[in-house]
Amino acid sequence: MKTRADFGIVFFRLRASDFELQNMPKIKTYEEINRKLKSGEAVVLTAEEVSKMAKEMSPEEIVEKVDVVTTATFGAMCSSGAIINFGHANPPIRMEKIRLNGVPCYEGLAAVDSYIGATACDPDNPKYGGAHVIQDLLEGRDVVLEAWAKGTDCYPRKHIKTKININTINEFTLFNPRNAYQNYNVAVNTTQKMIHTYMGTLLPNLRNATYSTSGELSPLLNDPEFKTIGLGTRIFLGGTQGFVVWPGTQFHTTKPKNELGVPVTNAATIAVMGNLKEMSPDYIKAAYYEKYGVSMFVGIGIPIPILNADIAKRVSINNSQIETSVLDYGTVGTPKLGQVTYEELQSGSIKVGNKKIRTAPVASLAKARKIADELKQWLLKGEFEVTKPVQMFPGNTSLNGLKETEADND
Amino acid sequence: MIKKRYILNFPPQSGDKAFTYHLVKDYDIRINILKAEVYPGKRGSLLLELQGKKENIEKGVEYIKSHKITCESLDKRISWKEEKCIDCGNCTAVCFAGALNMNRETWKLEFDKSNCVVCELCIPACPLNLFEIDFR
């Protein structure tokens, strides 16, 4: 995350000064936009609204008219979880095995710090997991904490069983290593058997297709090259202000793209953080997928400052210009069967080969719209600033698979 | 003419009376059997669609009830906790009967219970576990 980022900022500055000299198209700064937001003069639109506007306006006109565009998504994001500090008991315990309502949480963080992953569960009770514990705490319910330890001179206690809730714990921080996937595949099933996946229940013989992204409203599809989203970007997270804190895991920027530079399959991601004590249960929801496991719906909204015509062009993209890949989840290796647009997906059916397949979303566009609107109101009221990233994200990244080497049995 | 779906639950002693025949013959009702589970000596459950004149259907339902068979309108046996629904759409993926649909304008879930065939696929498909159907 260094050379390319530095280069990007220098490049931007050079261009900005060039434009001033030559009286070139409009360029706005973060400071300028924030001043307008504070004074109530800013124009804020949702990504859907700007996509409509773009049918009659050029990016150059949009950058003149619009200051911020809000994007949003509300989908199941498995790589999520919460950092909790329980506080010290008297006598104190160095927790070396921890359960919250029977769900295992991480014990390798000092004495009373823990991390509960959304997908964690007790195999004997697979329908209740970490996400449900987070939701229970968020909604103010008591949760049973049980912990064990060997006992030390400074932490003599060996066992504790007590009830905690959102008010008794110290920090309760959402920290999601991989959220808001930039695009996602469409799932179908060519086999004769119904299968159960994180993309929902897939009927046999291509009888349904499920898709997840909010299309033209989706955050990372509106800033496909991370020109404004980076480390430190202030966002809507679970109903409060949160931050982008790192590139998400599996951050992949070199997946195939269409002619508009938008990836046609799942590509980049973001890691996000925010204070769960300020969040709303409307935007954090535990989920259980039959024969798959637990996950968590997370509501994320990202404001995109319209700094220049290029960014205006990116946010103007509409569902007919965003494509994604149709993958067969019934076959090992999930082979690609076709490529469709979000306009087709949202119409209710897609065509793969000669077959017409009924589509269904598995992420909530209604909630995503609500988030984009709420973020828009925050911005218009001057309660929310757009942030210039402290550091831009790396380009040219790809992923390693997990290679299996011969086990060393000596 | 109206069309309405009912769930019938037969007690073990309900015997072998030809109820559907009587519904057709005596009450002029067009019947469509959408789902049936019969365990002789234990219980039986039936999803019936009745089509006919309103008063005939009412009389037909009374006739069934008079034989100690419970007969309740389908929508009373289906529960969807709408206030907790997040409109994700997972249930619409499996609902081939067309009862569960996303409104293409608002993207809110719409549940037209009159189209339900009690396949029960929505129950496990809902990640928030918001559906219950009392068929048995």
Question: Residue A18 pLDDT more than 60?
Answer: no
Cβ contact B107–A364 (<8 Å) = yes
Q: Where are the alpha helices (DSSP H) in A173-272?
A: 219-222
Please give the pLDDT value at position B19. Answer: 85
Residue of A54, A74, A56, A72 lying closest to A311 (CA atoms): A54
- In a domain, residue A40? The reply is no
- In a domain, residue A346? The reply is yes
Question: Residue B131 pLDDT more than 90?
Answer: yes
Boundary (domain end) residue, out of A144, A169, A194:
A169
The parent domain of residue A241 ranges over 68-78+179-380
Boundary (domain end) residue, out of A115, A139, A169:
A169
Tell me, yes or no, whether A272 and A195 share the same domain.
Answer: yes
Residue of A363, A2, A194 lying closest to B94 (CA atoms): A194
- In a domain, residue A51? The reply is no
Tell me, yes or no, whether A161 and A217 share the same domain.
Answer: no
Average pLDDT, chain B: 93
- In a domain, residue A20? The reply is no
User: What DSSP string runs through A6-30?
Assistant: HHHHHHHHHHHHHHHHHT-S----H
Tell me, yes or no, whether A74 and A125 share the same domain.
Answer: no
Tell me, yes or no, whether A141 and A245 share the same domain.
Answer: no
Cβ contact A201–B124 (<8 Å) = yes
Query: From CA A372, how far away is CA A382, in angstroms rounded?
Result: 16
Mean pLDDT of A135-151: 98
Query: From CA A144, how far away is CA A166, in angstroms rounded?
Result: 12
- In a domain, residue A192? The reply is yes
Residues 6+ apart with CB under 8 A from A402: none
Residue of A162, A165, A202, A168 lying closest to A185 (CA atoms): A202
Tell me, yes or no, whether A144 and A214 share the same domain.
Answer: no
- In a domain, residue A49? The reply is no
Tell me, yes or no, whether A353 and A217 share the same domain.
Answer: yes
What's the token pair of residue A40?
A: 């109530």
This model of the complex carries an ipTM of 0.91
pLDDT digits (tens, 9 = 90+) for A208-225: 999 999 999 999 999 999
Query: From CA A309, how far away is CA A80, in angstroms rounded?
Result: 35
Contact with chain A for residue B98, Cβ under 8 A = no
Query: From CA B43, how far away is CA B36, in angstroms rounded?
Result: 11
Residue of B46, B99, B107 lying closest to B72 (CA atoms): B46
User: What DSSP string runs through A237-260?
Assistant: ETTEEEEEEEEPTT----S-B-TT
Instruction: Give the number of other CB atoms < 10 A from CB of residue A52.
Output: 14
Q: How far is CA A340 from each of CA A255, A350, B102, rounded to the nearest angstrom? A: 16, 7, 20
Query: Would strands A355-361 and A209-211 be described as parallel, antiparallel, or unpaired?
Result: parallel
pLDDT digits (tens, 9 = 90+) for A369-386: 999 999 999 999 999 999
Contact with chain A for residue B92, Cβ under 8 A = yes
Query: From CA A326, how far away is CA A81, in angstroms rounded?
Result: 29
Tell me, yes or no, whether A103 and A127 share the same domain.
Answer: yes
- In a domain, residue A22? The reply is no
Cβ contact B96–A203 (<8 Å) = yes
pLDDT digits (tens, 9 = 90+) for A301-346: 999 999 999 999 999 999 999 999 999 999 999 999 999 999 999 9
Cβ contact A290–B124 (<8 Å) = yes
Q: Which of helix, strand or coil describes residue B65?
A: helix
Domains of chain B by start residue, with CATH: 2-76 (3.30.70.260), 78-133 (3.30.70.20)
Contact with chain A for residue B81, Cβ under 8 A = no
Tell me, yes or no, whether A151 and A212 share the same domain.
Answer: no
Q: Are B39 and B77 in contact (CB under 8 A)?
A: no
Mean pLDDT of B42-51: 92
Contact with chain B for residue A275, Cβ under 8 A = no
Of A399-403, B65-69, B127-131, highest mean pLDDT = B127-131
Query: From CA B19, how far away is CA B36, in angstroms rounded?
Result: 14
Q: Cβ-count burial of A92 within 10 angstroms (0-12 exposed, 13-18 middle, 19+ buried)?
A: middle
Tell me, yes or no, whether A361 and A217 share the same domain.
Answer: yes
Please give the pLDDT value at position A23. Answer: 54
Tell me, yes or no, whether A73 and A91 share the same domain.
Answer: no
Q: Are B34 and B49 in contact (CB under 8 A)?
A: yes
Query: From CA A396, how far away is CA A141, in angstroms rounded?
Result: 45
Please give the pLDDT value at position A2. Answer: 44
Query: From CA A73, how far away is CA A76, in angstroms rounded?
Result: 10
Most A CBs within 10 Å, among B83, B86, B119, B129, to test the A interface: B86
Tell me, yes or no, whether A185 and A151 share the same domain.
Answer: no
Question: Could you tell me how far CA A180 lies from the centroid of its own chain?
Answer: 2
Residue of A nearest to B121 (CA): A201
pLDDT digits (tens, 9 = 90+) for A254-303: 999 999 999 999 999 999 999 999 999 999 999 999 999 999 999 999 99
Chain A residues lying within 8 Å of B97, measured CB to CB = none
Domain count, chain A: 2
pLDDT digits (tens, 9 = 90+) for A32-48: 999 999 999 999 999 99
Mean pLDDT of B100-121: 96
Q: Are B88 and B102 in contact (CB under 8 A)?
A: no
The Cα of A339 is separated from the nearest Cα of chain B by a number of Å equal to 19
Tell me, yes or no, whether A261 and A369 share the same domain.
Answer: yes
Boundary (domain end) residue, out of A169, A202, A220:
A169
Please give the pLDDT value at position A326. Answer: 98
- Specify whether A154 is catalytic: yes
- In a domain, residue A399? The reply is no
pLDDT digits (tens, 9 = 90+) for A101-131: 999 999 999 999 999 999 999 999 999 999 9
Confidence of residue A5 (pLDDT cuts 50, 70, 90): very low
Contact with chain B for residue A364, Cβ under 8 A = yes
Q: Are B120 and A196 in contact (CB under 8 A)?
A: no
pLDDT digits (tens, 9 = 90+) for A170-195: 999 999 999 999 999 999 999 999 99
